[in-house]
Amino acid sequence: MSELSPRNSFPYPSEREQPFFDAFKAGELAKDAAIFANSDNSNVVWQKGGIFSWNAATDTLFWTDDIFVNGFHSQFGGIIPEGSVLIQENEIIYFQFPRLVQNDNTVLQLYRSSRIFLEGSRLHDLKLFVTRRDDVLYFANGMTLKDGDTGALFEAGLIKLSTVLPHQHEPAYLFIAPAAGIFTITPIPVLTAPDLVRVSVWRNGQLLFDGATEDYTVDLNTGIITLVVPMVVSPNPDKFIVFRETLDSTGVTVSSHQHAVPLLLKPTPGTSVLNTLATAPFLLRIDVFRNGQLLSEGATEDYTVDLNTGLITLAVTSALNDKFEIWRELGLP
């Protein structure tokens, strides 16, 4: 009868086993699969994940978008859905590679333990996601998060708050719909990239959401705004106000703050607390829009915000289909 190796349970012929070929072949195939898996493990790319935020006090790691984990030696691919995990001191979060699944969108289940182990799985089929030492998180791709850190982890590029390009806010542009059925707006004077860096659009007093599946898109290369829903003139013509942000080419060379990418949240009904995914001293101020309407901050108003935790408390909980857009101003401590 075949023997099994102590760590990976690879089969091999027992002493004087006859015939030994079946056991020998099974052992060689197991070693082949393990070597191939180790090669695959060392060539994994992590993509997306949106904004990450780590709070050591609550042991909570958040991320705002699906994380794509892709190998290159096989058809393996998987997704870690957006969400959060709890991770305590010296714990490890890991998952099992779905190597036998022939597609690239398998949902990966995360496991939490003090060591990488899963009953019935070999070590080379398990992959580290993140581990915690003291208050620092160490990710499989070499990235780290310290307590309170917030930002893009896997696709951030090089972002340095101390070298944010100076910018200026152009005068508001008012546009009243001249006829029904029009989809585009070209603010005057025409501003384009690389000078034009950001555009915000209000329609009849409501902030619109930027995106192909939202209210409008903007082409910074032409400055043209394209609406998803065309203009109307009855009973009253649509009124648009466009705010544009451009690079400042004057004598200013350094800015002490930057405007982070707007955070779009669609919470479940009944939600009373929203997370800005940033904290003081980097978080300087926020503006909150609910379904396009700017909310007022204050104890007797629409919401309050604690800059130290980055948490927004709503006076009225969220309802079905509510959309919140959070504008954050980040700076140097």
pLDDT tens profile 29-75: 767 666 666 666 666 778 888 778 888 888 989 888 888 887 665 56
Its pTM stands at 0.43
Give the model confidence (pLDDT) of 198-207 as tens digits: 899 999 878 8
Provide the pLDDT for residue 254.
46
Q: Taking residues 235-252, what's their average pLDDT?
A: 80
Strand partners, 173: 242
> Which bin fits 253, alpha (ψ -120 to 50), beta or left (φ > 0)?
alpha
Domain extents in the chain: 3-41, 45-157, 167-247, 257-331
Mean pLDDT of the chain: 81
Q: Answer with the residue of higher pLDDT: 25 or 234.
A: 234
Residue 187's pLDDT band (boundaries 50, 70, 90)?
A: very high
Give the model confidence (pLDDT) of 9-25 as tens digits: 666 677 676 676 776 77
Give the model confidence (pLDDT) of 146-179 as tens digits: 887 777 777 655 444 434 456 777 888 889 999 9
Residue 332 pLDDT exceeds 70: no
Provide the pLDDT for residue 123.
67
Please measure the distance between the N-terminal and C-terminal CA atoms of the chain and give it in whole angstroms: 68
Residue 270 pLDDT exceeds 80: yes
Q: Answer with the residue of higher pLDDT: 162 or 303.
A: 303
Which residue is associated with the tokens 């496991």?
111
Residue 100's pLDDT band (boundaries 50, 70, 90)?
A: low
Provide the pLDDT for residue 32.
66
